[in-house]
């Protein structure tokens, strides 16, 4: 049976942001070859929520590891995210995809800034 429910503020906020950054990041890495082996996967979970996997192999984010982090969000929301340097993974409640997107964006920007600070050679 399908149930209708009222939309929370976090759900409305998430609809605005969605996965805008992850979409842009994915598109910027598509070069005619990369996307045939790597990509982004999203699936629903039964707790309920989302599970997101972003392949970062052969991108600027390859090798950048992130410790598993759990965040409690407003209105009962939650998010867990980590990266082993090959795959960024996150799980969240149904209304927090935008929070995952923002976390991925911050992680990617910090990694890029650190990469610019490294001496080449």
pLDDT, tens digit, for every residue of 2-56? 555 554 545 444 455 789 999 999 999 999 999 999 999 999 999 999 999 999 9
Domain boundaries, the chain: 11-116
Q: Can you read off the two tokens belonging to residue 25?
A: 């990041």
- C-alpha 101/C-alpha 56 separation (Å) is 15
- C-alpha 97/C-alpha 61 separation (Å) is 20
- C-alpha 33/C-alpha 94 separation (Å) is 32
Q: Is this prediction's pTM over 0.85?
A: no
Can you give the pLDDT at residue 42? 96
Would you say 111 and 61 are in contact if contact means Cβ atoms under 8 Å apart? yes
């Amino acid at each position: 049976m399908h149930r209708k429910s009222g939309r929370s503020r976090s759900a409305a906020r998430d609809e605005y942001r969605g996965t805008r950054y992850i979409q842009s990041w994915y598109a910027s890495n598509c070069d005619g070859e990369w996307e045939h082996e790597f990509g982004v996967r999203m699936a629903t979970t039964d707790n309920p929520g989302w599970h997101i996997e972003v392949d970062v192999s052969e991108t600027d984010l390859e090798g950048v590891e992130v410790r598993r982090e759990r965040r409690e969000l407003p209105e009962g929301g939650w998010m867990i995210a980590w990266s082993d340097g090959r795959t960024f993974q996150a799980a969240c409640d149904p209304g927090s995809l935008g929070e995952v997107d923002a976390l991925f964006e911050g992680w990617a920007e910090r990694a890029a800034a650190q990469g610019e600070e490294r001496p080449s050679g």
